[in-house]
Amino acid sequence: MLTSPSTRYEHFQTLFPNEPAYRWRQIVTALYTPGWRSWTDVKNLPAAMRQALIDELPWQTLTIDTLQTSAAGDTHKALCRMVDGQKIETVLMANARDQWTICVSSQVGCAMGCVFCATGKLGLTRSLTTDEIADQYRLWRDWLADRPALPQRISNVVFMGMGEPLTNYDAVKDTLTTWLTDTDLGPTHITVSSVGLLPQLEKLLADPTWPSVRLAISLHAADGALRKSIVPTSAPDFLPQLADWAKRFLHAKNKRRNHLTFEYILLAGVNDSPRQAKQLADFVTRIGKIKVNVIPYNTIAAPDLQASATTAITQFKQKLTDCGVVVTQRKTMGDDIAAACGQLAASEQK
Ligand code: SF4
């Protein structure tokens, strides 16, 4: 049985080096067929191959280790174990359409070290394989199927769990391609959130096969020194370089479905003043049509950081609106189960 984080495809090729390509397509289709829960269900494969798959290839690469449900019942958070014993978090959240949004991880830990983030405190252990990312969708789909009283459809995915997705570019891209091919998820319902690593952003922009999903760049400050203090991996001249990239991105992808969002976590007394809102608005409007999504801070990762007061959040948003910026606010969910990424894994590591 597979015990190292190689992909199912690599393992399948080792087991069956001479199989025609359609066999692998049959296997991927089987993995995404609702109601099929093991290799035993895949009756269209030869019996000997089915038995080899049962013996050697995990149907699901993730096992739920710990599951927490919020008091409101609208958020479920799983700490999952993978074949090598490493653990990641994935979250299922009810959304406004009476469907579900899942938040997925792309790495075990993260190397970016954002000061407000529990995952950043863990450091990076390894990147996930395509299967380990994609199976987070399959895990929640099957978990819901076992609870028929709940809404069943997963309509949205956000890459806002553990890790920086663009440092795991190929696996994230393969996962997106698989989901867009083998599930009913549409590109406008998937958001890849990145801290904004400029070489990876350039690679994405130059990549004609990068799927047309939404992108969210974590900005958090429109002042270079302040941003560096919040996101330590900020490159010198990050803000002008990001502005230049964003203009080229918007020009190249001039379609609504490619739209770009800047994420801005509001930290009391750090980046939430009206002056900083004006600075942000100036930065955004100089680039073009980019929405700002403000995020109330709700983690316990950094005891010296506090959430902005409700009045400060309201004033900040109003200032942006007055300056012509489209602004939304992320709904905070599951505070009682520490649903922000990395908190469960971090508390277990302690
Ligand atoms: Fe990594 Fe995202 Fe946390 Fe920053 S916020 S440390 S990029 S997981």
pLDDT digits (tens, 9 = 90+) for 252-266: 887 565 689 999 999
Cβ contact 222:279 at 8 Å: yes
Confidence at 298, pLDDT banded by 50, 70, 90: confident
Fill in the DSSP letter of residue 221: -
CA-nearest residue for atom 4, ligand 1, is 114
Residue 303 confidence class, pLDDT cut points 50, 70, 90: confident
Mean pLDDT value of segment 206-216: 95
Which ligand 1 atom is at minimum distance from the Cα of 107?
A: 8
Q: Is 117 in the pocket of ligand 1 (CB under 6 A)?
A: yes
Q: Residue 240 in contact with residue 223, Cβ under 8 Å? A: no
pLDDT at 342 over 70: no
Using the predicted structure, report yes or no on whether residue 59 has a pLDDT greater than 50. yes
pLDDT at 344: 58
Q: Identify the pLDDT of residue 332.
A: 72
**C-alpha 193 to ligand 1 mean position (Å):** 10
Mean pLDDT of all residues in 51-71: 95
Find all residues with CB under 8 Å of 241, minimum gap 6, and list them.
Answer: 198, 235
- Asked if 137 contacts 183 with a C-beta cutoff of 8 angstroms, the reply is yes
Higher per-residue pLDDT: 220 or 340: 220
Q: Hey, what are 173's tokens?
A: 């891209």
C-alpha 74: how far from its chain's center? 19
Task: Tally DSSP H helices, then E strands, for the chain.
Answer: 12, 12
> What is the tens place of the pLDDT at every residue in 36-48?
999 999 999 999 9
Distance 341 CA to ligand 1 centre (A): 8
337 pLDDT above the threshold of 90: no
- 195 CB under 6 A from ligand 1? yes
Q: Distance, CA 162 to ligand 1 centroid (Å)?
A: 7
pLDDT at 291: 94
Question: 163 C-alpha vs ligand 1 centroid, how far in Å?
Answer: 6
Chain mean pLDDT for the chain? 92
Q: What's the mean pLDDT in 229-248?
A: 96
pTM: 0.93
Of all protein residues, the one whose alpha carbon is nearest to atom 6 of ligand 1 is 120
Residue 124's pLDDT band (boundaries 50, 70, 90)? Answer: very high
Atom of ligand 1 nearest to the CA of 231: 4
Q: Is 164 in the pocket of ligand 1 (CB under 6 A)?
A: yes
- 104-127 burial, b if ≥16 CB within 10 A, otherwise e? bbbbbbbebbbbbbbbbbbebbeb
User: Are 195 and 114 within 8 A, CB to CB?
Assistant: yes
Catalytic annotation, pick one of 80, 89, 132, 164: 89
- Reply yes or no on whether the pLDDT at 58 is more than 70: yes
**pLDDT score for 350:** 46
Q: Is 10 a catalytic residue?
A: no
Q: Of 80, 103, 110, 341, which residue is the catalytic one?
A: 341
Backbone angles phi, psi at 220, to 5 degrees: 70, -15
| pLDDT (0 to 100) of residue 6 | 72
Instruction: Say whether 210 sits in a helix, a strand or coil.
Output: coil
Determine the pLDDT at residue 292: 96
pLDDT tier at 121, thresholds 50, 70, 90: confident
Relative to the CA of 162, which ligand 1 atom is closest? 8
In angstroms, the first-to-last Cα distance of the chain is 31
Tens of pLDDT along 164-176?
Answer: 999 999 999 999 9
